[in-house]
Amino acid sequence: MEDLSVQDASTAADLVVYLDFDGVLHDDAVYWSKRDGIHIRMPGRTLFEWSHVLEQLLTPYPMVRIVLSTSWVRVKNFEFAKKQLPIGLQARVVGATFHRREMRTWQFDNMSRGAQVLADVQRRQPAAWFALDNDDHDWPVAYRDHLVKTEDRLGLSDPQVQKDIQARLASLSAL
């Protein structure tokens, strides 16, 4: 019998938000170095500065789960990425699009973000889903309506993005 990790904990009944970090929860200007670790190079910006916005938007929807679609999972690991989030968001995280045991890094890296998300949707089969991401390059056209695109410098601080998320959550919860 295969040991199921937290990354496999979601069920088909779940409503899922695929969550990128950079350009969504904070400015996209995030870098990693041995000397400085993970850091943001935009003056006046901090890592995860808009995570509280997502927490507030999700509060009325306790059934919504999060799947991490961020490169932080591949660059560091799943647990590290999850622990960067506030406790309330951590509790919603059920997995990630990248799984070291199921795919080679080079294969994953050669997929667009949209293809990475879609591969996970096909594996996980959530009842309903959408993605929060600033990367829409090569997003599968047939699934464009599942993407709430953010701007690199604004992320979730953009009031229009917040309205789009609220509308998406309301429509998903009505299913």
Structural domain spans, the chain: 6-173
Residue 14, sorted as left (phi over 0), alpha (psi -120 to 50) or beta, turns out to be: beta
The residue-averaged pLDDT of 64-68 equals 98
Rounded to whole angstroms, the Cα distance separating 23 from 148 reads 12
How far is CA 86 from its chain centroid? 14
Q: What is the pLDDT of residue 65?
A: 97
Q: What is the pLDDT of residue 70?
A: 97
Instruction: Supply the CATH classification number for the domain 6-173.
Output: 3.40.50
Rounded to whole angstroms, the Cα distance separating 56 from 162 reads 10
How far is CA 2 from its chain centroid? 26
Helix orientation angle between 51-58 and 159-173, rounded to the nearest 10 degrees: 30
Q: What is the pLDDT of residue 120?
A: 95
Residue 173 pLDDT class (50, 70, 90 cuts): confident
Q: What is the pLDDT of residue 51?
A: 99
